[in-house]
Amino acid sequence: MCGRYASSRSPGDLVIEFEIEENDLEDAAARPHYNVAPTATAPVVVERAVKPDDASTDAERTVRRLRPLTWGLVPSWSKDRTGGARMINARVETLLEKPAYKKAALTRRCLVPADGWYEWQVSPNAKDAKGKPRKQPFFVHPADGTGLAFAGIYEFWKDRTKPDDDPDAWLVTFAVITTAAEPGLDVIHDRMPLVLPRDRWNGWLDPQVRTPDDVRALVEPPAPGRFAAVPVSTRVNSVRNDGPELLEPAPAHQLVGVVDPATGELIGGPSGAAGELF
């Protein structure tokens, strides 16, 4: 799954990188975020068909926008917005089957800019203070140091208790699409966000791409090996913590019962000795 990520690039950088035509970001969404959590507002790239300004033509054009959307999909048919916090991810295997996601997958796709994402590895042998398996957070990011874009879908939801002209009447939300974790990262968790390579960005955003077969072709898993994963401080566990220090590698003495994704080595076991697990 993807339940937390970092997104620190400036709006100016995102406008250039994603070839944005209209930037709708406000101050809150424009600042760097190193611990984006469900129900938070985050920058998302969308592309929509718009009516022409010139009344002499019926030809539509598309506009690519950088918008602040709420993380946690609320389907248009929902009675209220409360379910959004539970619908932060959409599994790629059922994307075109589940009613909550199918229509959005065909007509309302988006890109979610990110630096990387956090995932928690359940220790095979270490316990926490409550006697439960210890969970070690990792930050997974492109090995070449560049940014990335998650494949996402978005939805419009109308609060029918408010008039149409009320700016709070409409809620626009998104979900991150997830896929099976690639080799190495599956030592941390069995799922990961679907990170789209740059050569698929235009196709994914294109509102004219509407057939299930075309969408399936765009979500084929890219080649593995693009990512690095580093254990980080458990400070990321709290959504109240937010800052670049969350991305820094955790000191070795803080690692207890952690499996190295690259080598399979068990680091800092309860006995203090390291060894091969796989």
Residues carrying an active site annotation: 2, 119
| Structure tokens, 222 | 């890219």
Query: Three-class SS of residue 102?
Result: helix
Query: Three-class SS of residue 214?
Result: helix
Query: Three-class SS of residue 89?
Result: strand
- Secondary element (H or E) of residue 16: helix 11-17
Of 274, 247, 237, whose CA–CA distance to 259 is shortest?
Answer: 274
| Structure tokens, 200 | 């698929």
Do residues 49 and 60 touch, judged by C-beta distance below 8 A? Answer: yes
- Secondary element (H or E) of residue 91: strand 89-91
Do residues 227 and 141 touch, judged by C-beta distance below 8 A? Answer: yes
Planar angle of CA 40, 89, 193, nearest 5 degrees = 100
69-95 CB burial, b ≥16 within 10 A, e <16: bbbbbbbeebeeeeebeebbbbbbeeb
Distance linking the first and last C-alpha atoms of the chain: 23
In whole angstroms, how far apart are CA 173 and each of 62, 186, 190?
20, 28, 25
- How, if at all, do strands 170-180 and 89-91 pair? parallel
